[in-house]
Structure 1
């Protein structure tokens, strides 16, 4: 009688069912350093806007149709402040995910716009200030000349106010994007970015033309010396410039 050796069936490695895996824990503790960064950035921007309300130019711009909101600078400033405040809420309540996608939309819109604003503004102020800055008389300040030699006919706001509205927003959004945020992926980085840039550019173009038709002049002096075709080309160029800037920044983000 031949007895065959018993065979032990091979052990099978069982994989845990997806439903039994432990999800990654969400850090529900407020992020203090992020909160400080976002709150301070928003406070600096708001302080600049509040400060300009007490300057002589308010007497000239305030009564106009659209007021300060004729300026792309102010619209971009408020979009940046909103982005910072939404970030603050997300930092304080990291377990609440409702505000994150909204903040990302504002970042997607405000970041390229602020970079375009800063680049155009400082380029013109440094090399052709008469195309950006209003005259003292049109700014409601005929008796207070500028401190810049040779530029007495142009109205200039204090440097700290200038930086808070024309430089801090761009720097704060760049720092937030590269240090605290992940890069945008398709379709947000493709169709979403193009759609937001186009919508914002068309909306501001119509808004600027509408305000000028009532006020009799444009908020920015360089638009006053252009015909309609040139202004449309400027709006289109700024729109696609903002989109290109975003694509470049998003490509650099690792």
Structure 2
């Protein structure tokens, strides 16, 4: 097993706190997927199923990230630990983006994200739209080395993901005749393009915030400065 990175606050992979956190995250995400199997909606039976929703795609990425992290804890494998950190570069900012968009739109009008007949109770709502962001942020801040992605790469990754999801949503629309989120039915094509592009920039911004908070939590003043100058780029440094 590779030695702990000098800028990483807690030991990971490990069969102690790290394994307990990853086990709790996997249990939470699994419970959310189990809920989906019992939640009968027209969306789940349509083309694309529940994976039309950005929330479910983000949940699946969070599940993969934590499952790999848990395997790394059990096996003490540095290769699996490295893979978990690579997955986190996409899954953590995406989970935070989903939380910001969802709770922000709910504050305006919850019917923009869910039809009135299919509103979620509080516990599953938190499981889908808060737990992934919380678990992934904790993993990054306390159990991971700093990311090696720079600002331009983070923006390119976010934009690529945003427009790939837009293509997927439009492809599902061509089969189903409706969009997964009611707000998309309200917007025209250009407005949807602005929504997806803006979401991609917001995802990049969440990476900047994660970098700044990483520096704050771990007492690395240089990281806090870089977050304000070099968007999203956390370069691994050695003491």
> Unaligned 5+ residue runs, structure 1?
1-23, 137-154
Alignment of 1:92-111 (within 5 A): 92-94=74-76, 96-111=77-92
Cα deviation, residue 85, structure 1: 0.8
Q: Distance in 2 between matches of 1:133 and 1:76?
A: 17
Count of residue pairs brought into register by the alignment:
208
Match of 1:41 in 2: 25
Is 1:76 aligned to residue 37 of structure 2?
Answer: no
Change (3 A) 1:63 1:45: same
Cα deviation, residue 241, structure 1: 0.8
Q: Distance in 1 between matches of 2:13 and 2:170?
A: 48
Change (3 A) 1:225 1:99: same
**Equivalent of 1:169 in 116, 123, 132:** 132
**Equivalent of 2:45 in 63, 70, 73:** 63
**Equivalent of 1:123 in 93, 104, 111:** 104
Over aligned residues, Cα RMSD in angstroms?
A: 2.0
Q: Distance in 2 between matches of 1:180 and 1:28?
A: 6
TM-score normalised by structure 1 residue count = 0.76
> Unaligned 5+ residue runs, structure 2?
5-10, 216-239
Match of 1:90 in 2: 72
C-alpha distance after superposition, 1:227-254 (max 9, x if no partner): 0000011000001110111022113312
Q: Distance in 2 between matches of 1:100 and 1:178?
A: 15
C-alpha distance after superposition, 1:53-111 (max 9, x if no partner): 21232xx12221100000000000000011101111122222x2221232122100011
Match of 2:219 in 1: none
C-alpha distance after superposition, 1:11-41 (max 9, x if no partner): xxxxxxxxxxxxx868999422211111111
Computing the radius of gyration from Cα coordinates, the structure with the larger value is: 1
Match of 1:208 in 2: 169
Whose helix fraction is larger, Structure 1's or Structure 2's? Answer: 2
Q: Distance in 1 between matches of 2:55 and 2:31?
A: 14
